[in-house]
Amino acid sequence: MSANAYVGVELDTQTLDRWLARTSIERALRAELPHVRGVVLDVGCGHQPYRDLLMSAPSSAERVIGVDIPSDKYGGHDIAWDGRALPVATASVDHVLLTEVLEHCPEPGVVLAEAWRALRPGGRLFLTVPFLWPLHDSPNDEWRYTPFALDRLLSGAGFEQVRLTGTGGWDASLAQMLGLWARRRSMSARRRALVSAALRPVIGWLGRRDVAPTTFHNGVMLTGLAGSAVKPEAAT
């Protein structure tokens, strides 16, 4: 397993709960890299696990600025943030990153409007959010988003060319729940070890056969969503 707990995560009995979530975010971000350029603002950056990835080809990023709320849990940000107004000048960055952040924002519309303000015309926003995931960072876990809600929020903030995809479908959803159950449900250490060993090949098989949804209608199942949007060139 990679020394970075978010990039290059491999499936083993210790990672059953987070393997799919983290590999799907990494896959979506890698697909975004050809569009990344200039100054990147990593909002809610935590430990900045994606900094090296963002600075590697095919990205054309020149600088990554991490902003986050001061916390004993997450360190490593470059600039402190209050969770609302982004501490950067208007039209000063080329790319905004929001990975697993928007579900923690009490006022997501405000944060997206701030991202729009911070971007230069033609700049891009990339985001991921969970859909099938336990409560976390309580009590600062605010939302679970459908693609329809995200599209409305992004469009309402002024973004265009909104593109959303699922990070996992039915098979990944089952695999993720099995992994979370095996690693996070209360049980003895001996039972957890036995259950994890038994479920590892099942989770791997489900993950490999999964088809993430790219269209959304009744009956679609999601583990989460990834998406991009663009600030119009004509924006002022």
pLDDT of amino acid 76: 77
Distance CA 84, CA 114 (A): 8
Q: Which residue has the tokens 């050809």?
A: 34
> Does residue 46 lie within any of the structural domains?
yes
> Does residue 88 lie within any of the structural domains?
yes
Distance CA 233, CA 159 (A): 11
Which range of residues forms the domain containing residue 75? 19-169+213-230
pLDDT of amino acid 236: 67
Q: Among 124, 121, 125, 160, which residue's Cα sits nearest to residue 44?
A: 125
pLDDT digit string, tens, across residues 2-23 = 458 999 999 999 999 999 999 9
Handedness of CA 148, 151, 20, 22 (dihedral sign): negative
Query: What is the model's pTM?
Result: 0.94
Count the domains in the chain: 1
> Does residue 203 lie within any of the structural domains?
no
> Does residue 113 lie within any of the structural domains?
yes
- 3-state class of 110 per DSSP? helix
pLDDT of amino acid 1: 37
Q: Say what percent of the chain tops pLDDT 70.
A: 97
> Does residue 190 lie within any of the structural domains?
no
pLDDT digit string, tens, across residues 184-216 = 999 999 999 999 999 999 999 999 999 999 999
CATH of the domain at 23: 3.40.50.150
pLDDT digit string, tens, across residues 161-177 = 999 999 999 999 999 99
Cross-strand bridge partners of residue 96: 41, 125
pLDDT digit string, tens, across residues 54-94 = 999 999 999 999 999 987 777 778 999 999 999 999 999 99
> Does residue 192 lie within any of the structural domains?
no
Q: What are the tokens at 21?
A: 């979530």
Please check whether residue 108 is in contact with residue 136, taking contact to mean a CB–CB distance below 8 angstroms.
no
> Does residue 37 lie within any of the structural domains?
yes
> Does residue 235 lie within any of the structural domains?
no
Q: What share of the chain is helix, strand, coil (3-state, %, to 5)?
A: 35, 20, 45
